[in-house]
């Protein structure tokens, strides 16, 4: 299944006609890169759209801090890719994305005591 995820290769060509995959959940498009670039959403809410237009149908929303794998970008400021949280595919505005953020510390808290 090496070529199936990127929309190329012998398995994609063989099974593309008989398999009906959900375009919202599978990043299948001819000519996309094998290894996506991962970015982090920096807007409070960023819509994930079906087409690269602001008035396109919204499939999902990405929240601040979620990771998004970008497979393709265009000259008009749109990125096509897949959310790493719920696996939805679609277009997102390039301005809504920033560099991948890795946490430097893990949150810790003291254990609570039960006073019963």
CA dihedral 60, 44, 97, 103 (to 10 degrees): -110
State how far the Cα of 98 lies from the Cα of 112, in Å rounded to an integer.
37
Model confidence, pTM: 0.68
Number of helices followed by number of strands (H, E) in the chain: 1, 7
State how far the Cα of 70 lies from the Cα of 38, in Å rounded to an integer.
6
pLDDT for 12: 60
Domain 10-99 coded CATH 2.60.120.260: no
Neighbours of 59 (CB within 10 A): 18
Model confidence pLDDT, tens digit, residues 60-107:
999 999 999 998 888 899 999 999 998 898 999 999 999 998 777 777
Better-predicted residue by pLDDT, 27 or 54: 54
């Amino acid at each position: 299944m090496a070529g199936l995820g990127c929309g190329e290769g012998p398995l994609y060509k063989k099974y593309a006609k008989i398999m009906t995959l959900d375009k919202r959940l599978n990043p299948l498009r001819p000519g996309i890169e094998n290894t996506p670039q991962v970015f982090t959403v920096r807007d409070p809410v960023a819509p994930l759209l079906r087409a690269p237009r602001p008035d396109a149908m919204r499939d999902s929303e990405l929240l601040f801090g979620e990771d998004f794998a970008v497979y393709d970008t265009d000259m008009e400021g749109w990125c096509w890719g897949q959310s790493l949280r719920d696996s939805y595919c679609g277009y997102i505005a390039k301005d809504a994305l920033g560099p991948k953020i890795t946490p430097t510390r893990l949150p810790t808290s003291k254990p609570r005591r039960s006073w019963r």
